[in-house]
């Protein structure tokens, strides 16, 4: 009996110790994770953002505050898309390289965006964004494209094109379907990343070009994520080249948009992608 009591006491002690450790370490871990995400943002946009000086916001060099609050509650994912702060923008880790599994429901890394940050960086009106566009040489078609010159976006796109041509993969992305376009995202009131001149669509080979709205996905229960878009080895090399220069690919979103690439260096650097979600929905 004494032995049993002693063993029980030992178990209880260990359990209490573990609870204590959880209580002790949980806030520290969360703070470290928050700080990592804030640094990712500041490092991705150094011309606009200052290094983090608090854990609940990021500030521009000019003093503009952009909130970062893991405790904000949203009605649902749509509501979060509408009102995303910088925490929402960063909470879904973007995985570079070929995906081994299809995205889970509402796993759309990059699709949550704090629009005020993009308005301040790239321009608040058609003409303001247009004034910051630069013309680049797009090697896959030896043609010209316009892209935002802010944050190194245009330079990054030009480097992507050169690398794709060098790899002999130009045929996938020789035909652009558009970069800058001052418009809202279909079916929403939110500005598209095309409005900021940091997104590009391509006319992909038929089997690869898939968009969830065109497919009627998620309103029709028989429609599923088009896994085939993740399995083309050569196209995966194209995607990896984009990612290595700071772009995310819409083909990795549950709400897939496989013709779409956008410049989001805060999600694609080695330190900032490929980590577990701190907050699952």
3-state SS assignment for residue 26: helix
| Contacts with Zn ion, 46-85, as mask; x by CB under 5 A | ----------------------------------------
Question: Where does this chain touch Zn ion (CB under 5 A) — which range of 4-12, 108-116, 240-248, 252-260?
Answer: 252-260
Is residue 107 part of the contact set for Zn ion (CB under 5 A)?
Answer: no
Q: Please give the residue whose beta carbon sits closest to Zn ion in the complex.
A: 260
∠ Cα 233 203 107 (to 5°):
60
**Separation in Å, CA 214 to CA 79, 113, 201, 206:** 22, 22, 15, 13
Beta strand 143-148 with 133-138 is antiparallel
Nearest distance, CB of residue 185 and Zn ion, angstroms = 9
C-alpha–C-alpha distance, residues 91 and 234, integer Å: 29
Out of 260, 263, 267, 268, name the contact with Zn ion by CB under 5 A: 260
Residue number with CB closer to Zn ion (80 or 201):
201
| Contacts with Zn ion, 34-53, as mask; x by CB under 5 A | --------------------
Residue number with CB closer to Zn ion (145 or 199):
199
Nearest distance, CB of residue 250 and Zn ion, angstroms = 7
Footprint of Zn ion on 156-185 (CB under 5 A): none
C-alpha–C-alpha distance, residues 262 and 144, integer Å: 18
Strands (E) located in the chain = 57-59, 65-67, 133-138, 143-148, 176-178, 199-202, 247-249, 260-263
C-alpha–C-alpha distance, residues 246 and 240, integer Å: 10
Question: Where does this chain touch Zn ion (CB under 5 A) — which range of 2-10, 28-36, 85-93, 197-205?
Answer: 197-205
CB environment 212-221: b (16+ within 10 A), e (fewer):
beeeebeeee
Q: How many CB atoms lie within 10 A of CB 94?
A: 22
If binding means CB under 5 A, how many residues of this protein chain bind Zn ion? 3
Q: What distance, in Å, lies between the first and last C-alpha atoms of the chain?
A: 47
Nearest distance, CB of residue 140 and Zn ion, angstroms = 17
Residue number with CB closer to Zn ion (68 or 118):
118
Residue number with CB closer to Zn ion (66 or 196):
196
C-alpha–C-alpha distance, residues 87 and 68, integer Å: 5
Out of 201, 243, 252, 266, name the contact with Zn ion by CB under 5 A: 201
Nearest distance, CB of residue 265 and Zn ion, angstroms = 18
Where on the chain is the footprint of Zn ion (CB under 5 A)? 199, 201, 260
């Amino acid at each position: 009996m004494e032995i049993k009591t002693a063993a029980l006491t030992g178990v209880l002690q260990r359990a209490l110790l573990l609870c204590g450790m959880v209580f002790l370490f949980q806030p520290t871990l969360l703070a470290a994770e928050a700080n990592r995400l804030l640094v990712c943002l500041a490092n991705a946009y150094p011309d606009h953002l200052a290094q983090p000086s608090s854990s609940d916001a990021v500030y521009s060099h000019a003093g503009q505050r952009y909130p970062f609050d893991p405790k904000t509650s949203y009605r649902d994912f749509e509501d979060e898309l509408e009102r995303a702060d910088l925490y929402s923008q960063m909470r879904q880790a973007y995985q570079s390289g070929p995906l081994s599994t299809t995205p889970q429901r509402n796993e759309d890394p990059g699709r949550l965006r704090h629009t005020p940050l993009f308005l301040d960086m790239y321009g608040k009106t058609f003409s303001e964004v247009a004034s910051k566009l630069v013309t680049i040489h797009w090697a896959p078609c030896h043609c010209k494209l316009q892209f935002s010159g802010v944050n190194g976006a245009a330079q990054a796109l030009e480097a992507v094109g050169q690398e794709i041509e060098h790899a002999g993969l130009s045929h996938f992305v020789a035909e652009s379907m558009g970069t800058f376009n001052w418009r809202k995202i279909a079916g929403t009131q939110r500005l598209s990343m095309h409005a900021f001149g940091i997104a590009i669509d391509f006319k992909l080979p038929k089997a690869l070009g898939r968009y969830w709205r065109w497919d009627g996905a998620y309103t029709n229960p028989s429609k599923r994520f088009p896994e085939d878009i993740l399995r083309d080895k050569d196209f995966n090399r194209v995607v990896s080249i984009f990612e290595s220069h700071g772009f995310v690919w819409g083909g990795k979103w549950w709400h897939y948009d496989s013709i779409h690439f956008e410049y989001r260096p805060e999600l694609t650097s080695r330190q900032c992608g490929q980590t577990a979600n701190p907050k699952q929905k």
